[in-house]
Amino acid sequence: MIAYGDNIKVFCGNANPIFAQTICKELGIEMGKGDVQTFADGEVSVSLSETVRNSDVFLIQPTCKPVNDHLMELLIMIDACRRASAGRITAVIPYFGYARQDRKAKSRDPISSKLVANMLTAAGANRILTMDLHAPQIQGFFDIPVDHLLGNPTFVNYYLEKFPEEQYDHEGFVVVSPDVGSVGRARAFAAKMHMGLAIVDKRRQKANQCEVMNVIGDVRGKTCIMFDDMIDTGGSLCNAAEALVKVGGAKAVYACATHGVFSQKAFDHIENSVIEEVVVHNTIPLPTDRSCRKVKQLDVAPIFARAISHIHCGTSIADLF
C-alpha cells in the first residue's frame, strides 16, 4: 500500500457516500471531513472542516438522481476547494449525468453535456475521472484532462467465472448490442469474451420508448449477453430481450450495463421480462425503496481507487484496461 501522507484529500457529496468510503478504504486513507447540506429552500451548503491548501483533492460524486441536486453539490464542492487554495482538484464522476444530451437531435436543441462540462471547468476542476460515458466523444467537450475508465473488464471477469470455458462452448454464446448506437462498445466486449456479435435494430418513437424491428445476427439456440452503458427505465432492454427470444430464437438472455439508473418502473419491467439476470456496476446506488431479484451489482470502487492512486502519483492508468 502506498503511503500517501497529507497531500491527498478525498471528499464526497450525498450521491453515493458508500462508494466513496470504499475508495478511501482501498486507498488506506480517511475520508475528508466536511458537510454537504441542503437548506430548507433547496440551496446547497458546503463546509470543509480541514485544510486542503496545496493538496491533491479528489471529489467523488456521481451525478445521478436527483441529477441537478447532485450536480450543484459537486460544483459548489469544487468552488469551495478552489477558494481554499487546493493544489489540484479532480472531479471523480463515476456516472456523468446529461451524457445522453451530447448533440442536437433536432433544431433548437441544447447540447447539455457540453454545458455541464463548461460548468465543471468554470467551477475550478482541473481534471475529470469518469467511467463509460454514453458517448466517448464527450471527452472532447472538456478543456481539461479526462481519464475515461472502462467497465467491460469487470464484466469479462464476471462472465468468464460464471461461464468457464472448460464447461461451456463459447460458440453457444453471443454478445448482443441492444441498439445500433451501442455496437462499438458491444464489439469490444465481444472481442474480449471471444464471442460472436448480434444487434437488435430498433426504432425509437420518443424518449424512453422504442419499437423493436428485427435481430441482426445468428442468436438461435444461443445464450445471449446484452451489453450496454446504462439501463434507464428498462423498456428498451426488455423489448430487445423479448425480440431475441421470440424473433431470434435465443435460448437464454442475460444483460449487463455499467450504470443502473433504474428510473420509473425499471425493476418491474426487468422482473417480468425474459431476462435471466441483469448485472450493473455500483457507480449509482440502487434504489432503497424497491428491489429486483434479477439485478446484481459489481463493485468498481477498487478500479477507481487504483485510478486515483495513479493520477496522484503521476503514473499511467493504462494497466486498468
Active site residues: 202
Length of the chain: 321
Q: How far apart are CA 35 and CA 20, in angstroms?
A: 14
Closest CA to 305 of 56, 19, 55: 19
Nine-digit cell string for 124? 475550478
The H or E element spanning position 255 is: strand 252-260
DSSP character for 94? S
Residue 95 phi, psi (nearest 5): -120, 120
Helices (H), the chain: 17-27, 67-83, 112-123, 152-162, 183-193, 235-246, 266-271, 301-313
Give me the amino acid identity at 70: H
Q: How far apart are CA 240 and CA 225, in angstroms?
A: 11
Contacts of residues 169-174 at CB distance under 8 Å and 24 or more positions apart, as own/partner, are 170/194, 170/195, 171/196, 172/221, 172/222, 172/223, 172/251, 173/222, 173/223, 173/224, 173/225, 174/198, 174/217, 174/218, 174/219, 174/222, 174/223, 174/224, 174/225
